[in-house]
Amino acid sequence: MKSRKFYIMLAFVATFLLLAACGNTEEENPKPQDDTTAETENGEASSEGNETDSEESERTLTDAMGNEVTVPAEPKRVIASYLEDYLVALGITPVAQWSVADGATIQDYLQDSLKDVPTIPYDLPLETVTSFEPDLIIMDSAGMVEGNKYEQYNRIAPTYVVGSEQNNDWREELLQIGKVFGQEEKAEQVLADYEQKAADAKEQIEASIGDESAAALWLFNNTFYIVSENLSSGDVLYGDLGLATPNVVKEISESTEANWSEISLEKLAELDADHIFLVNSDKGNGSEMLQDDLWKNIPAVKEGNIYELPSTSSWLYTGPVANSQMIDDVLENVGE
């Protein structure tokens, strides 16, 4: 949920419009750069890959677009819109945080770390970016700097583009951002800790419910959306935790590149999931769709295997913090 169209989707949340398909571009994602360090004959380390030393106080890195970016040794005023999850995981506080609708919608699940950080619009207006006087700008993907936007942002501060895929792999993004800040070892440790947590949770869940299936749904403005098999919370449920994928999820995932896709009640009636995780953004509006007989007759609903999550949860996002919180939610509901 990390692309420009997803930003628009969340803007729709704030303005009560409907979901738009996710995605920035269909550009091919380059393979991660090799930043391994080799030992020389006299025992000193020599750097290989896409990083070069320019001065003791700064480093030059090559980003996903092939730009050579001179990064300060210790950036103090960072803007990394919609990448705040990774910054929080690395103990870095940005100078501004992503939002839509004049700050009405933010990443609530990160606010323990970002509660005092001012907001910036998701589309990063140049004047607003300039007003924060950043010393480093990090962009999620090439789609965010299409046209001549890269040159415009780069005039404000060194600008590093993390990836170019429509949905960049969050693990690769974590390692890339760790490299930007010279925190490769910490990023690798954050990832290793997550992998261990996911592996432990997978064993616990299998012991609890065996090979039963699950689906994640989002209810907003009387419309249901279902998560894709390999994206967002679907990646956590099926990839990391090994829950079985319902046929409806597989079918919809084959025909969309969106993180979340609209699904009718009639189609939901075919959902062969043993468990449903429901992000309910309509809770304060009556959740009318949850009173429909088609909904009530879905097997998981009839069995009481539905677990309601607030719209402020991390399930609409992705990253080491978001995914770790999702694992906690799954364990709390099906891991006992």
Integer Cα distance of 171 and 191 in angstroms? 7
pTM: 0.84
Integer Cα distance of 265 and 223 in angstroms? 9
Integer Cα distance of 283 and 288 in angstroms? 9
Across the chain, what does the average pLDDT equal? Answer: 86
Is residue 71 within 8 A of residue 55, CB to CB? The reply is no
User: Torsion angle of alpha carbons 125, 131, 137, 143, nearest 10°?
Assistant: 0
Q: How far is CA 287 from CA 104, 218, 219, in A?
A: 21, 11, 8
High-pLDDT (> 90) share of the chain, %: 77
* CA-based R_g, the chain, Å: 21
High-pLDDT (> 70) share of the chain, %: 83
Q: Is the pLDDT of residue 260 over 60?
A: yes
Q: Look at 39 and 283; give whichever has higher pLDDT.
A: 283
Q: Beginning with the edge strand found earlier in the chain, give each strand of the sheet holding 159-163 in spatial order.
A: 78-79, 136-141, 159-163
pLDDT tens readout for residues 147-157: 999 999 999 99
pLDDT tens readout for residues 273-317: 999 999 999 987 778 999 999 999 999 999 999 999 999 999 999
Tokens of 302: 């009839």
Give all domains of the chain, ordered by start, each with its CATH number: 4-30+46-182 (3.40.50.1980), 191-334 (3.40.50.1980)
The predicted pLDDT at position 335 comes to: 81
CB neighbours (10 Å) of residue 53? Answer: 9
